[in-house]
Amino acid sequence: MINKKLLKKSHRQLIFILCITLVLLFSGILLIVHSCSNNKNDILQENQQNESSKINNSTPTATATVGSVGDILLHNPVLRSCYNSTNQTYDFGEIFSFFSPYIKKLDYSVANLECSISSSQWGYSGYPQFKSPESIVDAVQKAGFKMLLTANNHANDGGARGVFHTIDVIKQKNADFIGSKDDVSVPPYLVKEVNGIKFGMINYTFGQFIKDGLSSLNGIPLDKKASSVVNVFDYNKLDLFYSQMETAIKNMKNDGAQAIILYIHWGNEYELKPNKYQTEIAKKMCDLGVDVIVGGHPHVVQPVDMFTSSDGSHKMFCIYSVGNIVSNQRIALMNLKTGNTEDGVLFTTTFTKFDDGKVTLTDVNVLPTWMQLCNISKKQYKIIPLDKSVDWNKDFNLGQDMQNAQKSYNRTMALVSEGIQKFKENKVG
């Protein structure tokens, strides 16, 4: 006869043993998972340390700092202020007098020439069609700039004649330029060696593609020849732009480029944030291997940001807009009453080359600038470098403009400081 008490006791013991077994089994699984996770983290950490060690153990062999500024817009008041009625010439040198020492310290420097170079015979004008004297090129060169950007929405203000005359004048003065060319066989980019580092540089502007392969800038159609030599992209045909950039980047690298910089005219005027096209294009450029994007056209400074490619293998730094460097877009004249159109930046990127051949972006900085308008004996425009290490009043004779200069500095730093700090905290090297 079965002892019921003994059977119940056996059942309880069996259940207890099963519970203990399950607890031990579950604990073992957790221990294995935890161990695998730790091993994975250890491997990732070790790989990161090895990568960092690899860079840190490499010896820098060269550095090159490239500085970039925004739009040079010679509005009619600017033209008049620089006109010498005695000899009927234009001298723009005074505009850059305070700013020039900062440009000359750089290894290489770039400015956006937002106009069509004209002549006394053809006439000069400001907005809406910027046709500027060739002496602006002299002034920019004397200030220390080495390269001019010629692809922007005002490149066709003087028609096809102006497109090619602008190129001719720049070439005659032995300045570098990108954005347009005088022959279809010339590459749409420039590979420039600076301090032993080769930079691939390319400049594009937004525009419209119209029928028969022609382009249009600001609603002014370029003729067939000009359409073939100005770098234009259309927001409605971005796949074509991406394909062109992919080919250009490949060719620049084949020509020895170790770092790629894209100068692009994009975005919405007077908006302090990038639009959806800017962020979309920036992400794609990072995937294609661009190292730095320098944006222009909004006539205000826009934020900066870092991007990581989709596969995680590449990082890119972008300033969406460097603002104006020369203009008459004064706060009193603008619908935008914030003063941002008076602001700009000198945006600098420093690349380092190591003894293993690797070239890395190792530093970025911005120097805010403000376009001062004095009106003592006559109107006079000057770029004020808002360098916190100097006495603005003493060095730049600001006087009553000290407050306006400080406001400009505050506006710009509010837009860019977070992105600059993000780079410094996450940079490699």
Query: How many H-runs (helices) and E-runs (strands) does the chain carry?
Result: 10, 22
Quick count: other Cβ atoms within 10 Å of Cβ 55?
16
- Averaged pLDDT of the chain: 90
pLDDT score, position 54: 45
32: confidence class by pLDDT, cuts 50, 70, 90: very low
Would you say residue 24 has pLDDT above 50?
A: no
pLDDT above 70 covers what percent of the chain?
Answer: 86
pLDDT band at 7 (very low <50, low <70, confident <90, very high): very low
3-state class (DSSP) for residue 215: strand
Identify which has the larger pLDDT, 40 or 408: 408
In angstroms, the CA 244 to CA 188 distance is 10
Give the per-residue pLDDT at 58: 86
Note the pTM of the prediction, 2 decimals.
0.87
Do residues 146 and 173 lie in contact, with contact meaning Cβ atoms separated by under 8 Å?
no
How far from 62 is each of 117, 130, 198, CA to CA, in Å? 37, 40, 11
Distance in angstroms (rounded) separating the CA atoms of residues 177 and 171: 8
What does the pLDDT average to over 110-133? 98
Q: Which 3 state secondary structure label does DSSP give 285?
A: helix
Q: How many other β-carbons are positioned within 10 Å of the β-carbon of residue 275? A: 15
Of 215, 191, 194, the C-alpha closest to 205 is: 215
Reported as a single tens digit per residue, the pLDDT across 257-316 is 999 999 999 999 999 999 999 999 999 999 999 999 999 999 999 999 999 999 999 999
Residue type, 355: D
Q: 18-22, 46-50, 114-118, 375-379: which has the minimum mean pLDDT?
A: 46-50
For the record, the structure tokens of 349 come out as 């990127």
Q: Residues 314, 268: contact at Cβ < 8 Å?
A: no
Position 26 confidence tier, pLDDT thresholds 50, 70, 90: very low
- In which band, very low, low, confident or very high, does the pLDDT at 20 lie, cut at 50, 70 and 90? low
Q: Is 123 exposed, middle or buried (0-12, 13-18, 19+ CB in 10 A)?
A: exposed
Give the per-residue pLDDT at 290: 98
Q: What is the pLDDT of residue 219?
A: 94
Under the banding of pLDDT at 50, 70 and 90, the label for residue 426 is confident
Task: Copy the structure tokens of residue 68.
Answer: 């970039």
Pair 271, 298: CB distance under 8 Å: yes
Question: Residue 121 and residue 268: Cα distance in Å, rounded?
Answer: 34
Can you list the domains of the chain with their CATH numbers?
A: 63-426 (3.60.21.10)
Tens of pLDDT, residues 225-241: 999 999 999 999 999 99
* Mean pLDDT across 64-87: 97
Where does residue 347 rank: exposed (0-12), middle (13-18), buried (19+ CB within 10 A)? Answer: buried
